[in-house]
Each structure stands twice: as C-alpha cells, then as structure tokens.
Amino acid sequence: MAKQSPGPEWIPYARQLGTELQRLRIARGLSQEHLAYAAGITRYTYQKLERGESSPGSPANPSLRNIMAIAQQLDVTLDELLPKPWPDLGG
C-alpha cells in the first residue's frame, strides 16, 4: 500500500496545532525542554511540533503516542489540544 501524502488542509492544521502547543506550554510556565523531557521525546522533536514542521517545507505529522504524552503533561484532553475543525483526511 502506497504511503499517502497529507492533503492541502494538513499544512495549516499542523501549524495551528503547533501554535496551540506553544500557547498551552507557555500558559503553564514550562520550557520546551522540560515539556519534551516529561513527555519522553527530544526537545528537537518538540520544537518541530511547535513549528508545525517535520522538516523545512514538510508539515508535522506527530505520532498518536507523542500527542497523548504531551497532552498528559499539559493536563488537557486530546479534544482540548487538537484544533477544531479537524481537517478532512478522507482523500
């Protein structure tokens, strides 16, 4: 099965998620390094999530495990963390 690339709606959504991660982290007085360490990911990985990129020009596509770990450390539900509306990923 061929790997699908994210649709055009994903790029702005990944950026919105990054903005929300940064907002929540700052509101709780956490550094990127502290939050990343507590969530079990590297600071570099977390920084990329806040930028909404996995590499320059490529939108972030975080694993469910990473998003769940970050949400737990921020003391929010996934529904509170993920921006709305969700993008249409149906194809």
What's the CATH code of the domain at 28? 1.10.260.40
Asked if residue 91 belongs to a domain, the reply is: no
Domain count, the chain: 1
Residue-range definition of the domain harbouring residue 60: 10-81
Asked if residue 3 belongs to a domain, the reply is: no
Assess whether pLDDT exceeds 90 at residue 3. no
Q: Which two tokens stand for residue 75?
A: 């003391």
Asked if residue 55 belongs to a domain, the reply is: yes
Q: What is the pLDDT of residues 41-71, one digit of tens each?
A: 999 999 999 999 998 889 999 999 999 999 9
Cβ contact 7:87 at 8 Å:
yes
Asked if residue 21 belongs to a domain, the reply is: yes
Q: What is the pLDDT of residues 4-52, one digit of tens each?
A: 566 788 999 999 999 999 999 999 999 999 999 999 999 999 999 999 9
Rounded-to-integer distance, Cα 75 and Cα 59, Å = 25
| Strand pairing report for 58-59 and 53-55 | antiparallel
Assess whether pLDDT exceeds 50 at residue 1. no
